[in-house]
Structure 1
Amino acid sequence: MSHIPQTSVPVPPTVVVVIPFYNGAAFIERSVASVFAQSMPASEVIVVNDGSRPEERASLDALAARFPFRILDKENGGQGSARNAGVAASTAEYICFLDQDDFYLSNHIEILVKGIPADDPRLGFVYADLAEADGEGNIIRAAMVKDHTLHHPKTNIFEMLRHDIFVLPSAAIVTRKAFDAVGGFDTQFMGFEDDDLFLRIFRKGFTNHFIDKVVTVWCIHTGSTSFDMRMIRSRFKYFKKLVGMFPDEPKRNRYVLRDCLMPRFGRFFMDHVIEAVKANDPNRAEMSAVLAEYAAIVYASPAVSGRKKLKLRATVFMAEHSPPGLIRAIGKLTRLPGVRSLRRLLG
């Protein structure tokens, strides 16, 4: 009797999909349905209710009757804390995230799993591209990651500091080892928590791999966190965290504040104040305080030239003392939008 050798079939890795939910009944069905339509199914699907209103929470029960996902309830703490809670409640080897108003393409998990290298014990994450869409899911750009960043995978910390990283959790798969090693998302942020996570994973010595395929549709609408004060506050918190993490190293000729953080963040702190002045925004005082604190950090740096400091002082003075009419007049005078023209006027 001849012996026929048996070949083992590789077991696919376990994958959890974590979806933070906060008053998102208008979008969550589309997101959940996309997860359960995957060509390679997830091992676990957890929707984390981050303190939604009772009527919004009730929508999850109705949806769970149709799709077998687990609901995890917690007090409101922001998207980062919701994602952390979902990961902590799961056991899978790999983690995928999905925002409540986005949705996966049907081969999202399969593409990312097949992109996991077989011989990389230090793997941190695999990421792919996204399509940008409006709130209804109508495509605006077919591949937005490559539009924003040219270098993949991520290999240079200074490039990651100088520019938005554009690794989106909804288009990535993260190893549990790497996620746990950095303590998950920093919950102080409600915006920029994604850049912060992947930056810390990179700094911890984990590798990353890029797949040049679109796996997710990222829907942007006026209700997104990108358009509210939380994002503005979080941007400044992230800036200050990076300033603390990367002090100047004169012996290595490395000046992160001057060469990376000021070019990346400074214009936003100025623009927020200028736009607030133009619109008589009630948050003008808070935005002016952010700009003043940013300026104080710049003034204290010996690496920043006196010329740049002088221009910043002029910008701060004008932003704090100019009436809305003057800001609008500058824009009309130069035939440029007020924000851009004021920056050019001040050099």
Structure 2
Amino acid sequence: MQTSTPQAPTVVVVIPFYNGAHFIERSVGSVFAQSVPATEVIVVNDGSRPEERAALDALAQRFPFRIIDKENGGQGSARNAGVAASTCEYISFLDQDDFYLPNHIEILVKGIPADEPRIGFIYADLAEADGEGNIIRAAMVKDHTSHHPKTSIFEMLRHDIFVLPSAALVSRKAFDAVGGFDTQFMGFEDDDLFLRIFRKGYTNHFIDKVVTVWCIHTGSTSFDMRMIRSRFKYFKKLVGMFPDEPRRNRYFLRDYLMPRFGRYFMDHVIEAVKAEDPNRAEMSEVLAEYAAIVYANPAVGGRKKLELRATIFMVEHSPPAVIRAIGALTRLPGVRSLRRLLG
């Protein structure tokens, strides 16, 4: 009696594209050089300039990928559009300026547990590189956190999750169950997605291998004002999702969200003051709104609130020269003592 061989899972690679003609050939080329080929490759043009869009047509003459055009809506909406256009069982994302190592899909597909019907995502490590692809760090995920796989909501709230879509394989069932990426974010949409998949009861599996090269350069979203705005949006979303539970001695704002996010909101203002940045007013508004949330929370002690008030007053009323002098003394981009007050 013959037994049927299980079919390999189908995998779609979704690449959001926005005015990235300088990088996209490297990304697409890495997908078509895989030891295990993708079932489908979709590049989503997220409202690029006409000449950039034309570069995709030229590239598609050499590589058989599908192009989807949409109005500009950000990376999350582009990823969602790519997933919606495919029916594959698993989804693999790739940013236009990053690239896969040759065994990316093979390693992740082999890591799918055979006896786990609720698998949400399989993820691995990445190498960090500059914009030209020159390696800076060989295993950046492990450098940032040792909490693998993800098993605790408290760790996922207290620290950046560091599950990168470009080094992950996401189950379509899990992706659809949570509604995909939250398109209000242009930064932190990754943490938000994987947090919601975890909360929905799906499991995850970590593979201790590097499968992707993450290229960070000054044009990356990480250096954009949009990232600063998105960080605050994500903070507020988490505040709403996780109200304090005094009966269970769980104080999410005080113990998890303030230590993780507070120093950033202060640092944004400090750096804006030092550089006389035109976005200083907006960053000050973010800090003021953050402070109002802290002041309104009864679990945060009076001393902590008083220190926060005093610190904000000093930062907002000191001339740039004074802030620059303090920063130089600490030899840090921000001010170490002020960070301690917030964490």
Same fold per superposition (TM over 0.5): yes
Letter in 2 for 1:40: V
Cα offset, 1:323, TM superposition? 1.2
**CA distance change for structure 1 residues 319 and 135 in 2, over 3 Å: closer, same or farther?**
same
**CA distance change for structure 1 residues 192 and 344 in 2, over 3 Å: closer, same or farther?**
closer
Specify the SS of the correspondent of 2:284: helix
Q: Distance in 1 between matches of 2:12 and 2:212?
A: 16
Stretches of structure 2 that go unaligned for 5 or more consecutive residues are none
Specify the SS of the correspondent of 1:73: strand
Cα offset, 1:330, TM superposition? 1.9
**What residue is the counterpart of 2:153 in the other structure?**
157
- The higher radius of gyration belongs to 1
Matched, 1:99 2:99: no
**What residue is the counterpart of 1:232 in the other structure?**
228
Within 5 Å, give how 1:28-177 maps onto structure 2: 28-177=24-173
Percent identity of equivalent pairs? 86
Contact 2:304–2:341 (CA under 8 A) maintained in structure 1:
no
Within 5 Å, give how 1:217-256 maps onto structure 2: 217-256=213-252
Q: Distance in 1 between matches of 2:336 and 2:159?
A: 23
Q: Distance in 2 between matches of 1:311 and 1:145?
A: 34
Contact 2:326–2:335 (CA under 8 A) maintained in structure 1:
no
Q: Distance in 2 between matches of 1:92 and 1:344?
A: 45
Q: In structure 2, which of residues 310, 317, 333 is the aligned counterpart of residue 321 of structure 1?
A: 317
Specify the SS of the correspondent of 1:339: coil
Q: Distance in 2 between matches of 1:346 and 1:257?
A: 15
Cα offset, 1:7, TM superposition? 4.5
Matched, 1:25 2:21: yes
Q: In structure 2, which of residues 248, 257, 262 is the aligned counterpart of residue 261 of structure 1?
A: 257
Q: Which moved more, 1:6-15 or 1:17-26?
A: 6-15
Contact 2:266–2:339 (CA under 8 A) maintained in structure 1:
no
Cα offset, 1:344, TM superposition? 6.3
The one-character-per-residue Cα deviations of 1:32-60 (angstroms, maximum 9, x if unpaired) are 00000001101110000000011111100
Q: Distance in 1 between matches of 2:332 and 2:151?
A: 36
Q: Distance in 2 between matches of 1:107 and 1:211?
A: 13
Cα offset, 1:315, TM superposition? 1.6
The one-character-per-residue Cα deviations of 1:88-129 (angstroms, maximum 9, x if unpaired) are 000101000000000000010010000001111111000000
Cα offset, 1:340, TM superposition? 2.5
Letter in 2 for 1:227: F
Q: Distance in 2 between matches of 1:335 and 1:262?
A: 22
Stretches of structure 1 that go unaligned for 5 or more consecutive residues are none
Cα offset, 1:329, TM superposition? 2.1
**What residue is the counterpart of 1:199 in the other structure?**
195
Specify the SS of the correspondent of 1:66: coil
Q: TM-score, normalized by length of structure 2?
A: 0.97
Q: Distance in 2 between matches of 1:311 and 1:270?
A: 13
Cα offset, 1:10, TM superposition? 2.7
Cα offset, 1:346, TM superposition? 6.0
Contact 1:135–1:219 (CA under 8 A) maintained in structure 2:
yes
Aligned residues: 342
The one-character-per-residue Cα deviations of 1:144-165 (angstroms, maximum 9, x if unpaired) are 1111111211000000000000
Q: Distance in 2 between matches of 1:274 and 1:287?
A: 9
Cα offset, 1:336, TM superposition? 2.7
Matched, 1:340 2:335: yes
**CA distance change for structure 1 residues 83 and 346 in 2, over 3 Å: closer, same or farther?**
closer
Q: Distance in 2 between matches of 1:204 and 1:75?
A: 30
**CA distance change for structure 1 residues 338 and 225 in 2, over 3 Å: closer, same or farther?**
closer
Q: In structure 1, which of residues 174, 181, 189 is the aligned counterpart of residue 177 of structure 2?
A: 181
Q: Distance in 2 between matches of 1:39 and 1:335?
A: 49
Specify the SS of the correspondent of 1:251: helix
Q: Distance in 2 between matches of 1:15 and 1:335?
A: 49
Contact 1:327–1:338 (CA under 8 A) maintained in structure 2:
no
**What residue is the counterpart of 1:209 in the other structure?**
205
Letter in 2 for 1:339: G
Q: Distance in 1 between matches of 2:116 and 2:325?
A: 58
Q: Distance in 2 between matches of 1:19 and 1:162?
A: 30
Contact 1:330–1:338 (CA under 8 A) maintained in structure 2:
no
Q: Distance in 1 between matches of 2:337 and 2:62?
A: 54
Specify the SS of the correspondent of 2:183: coil
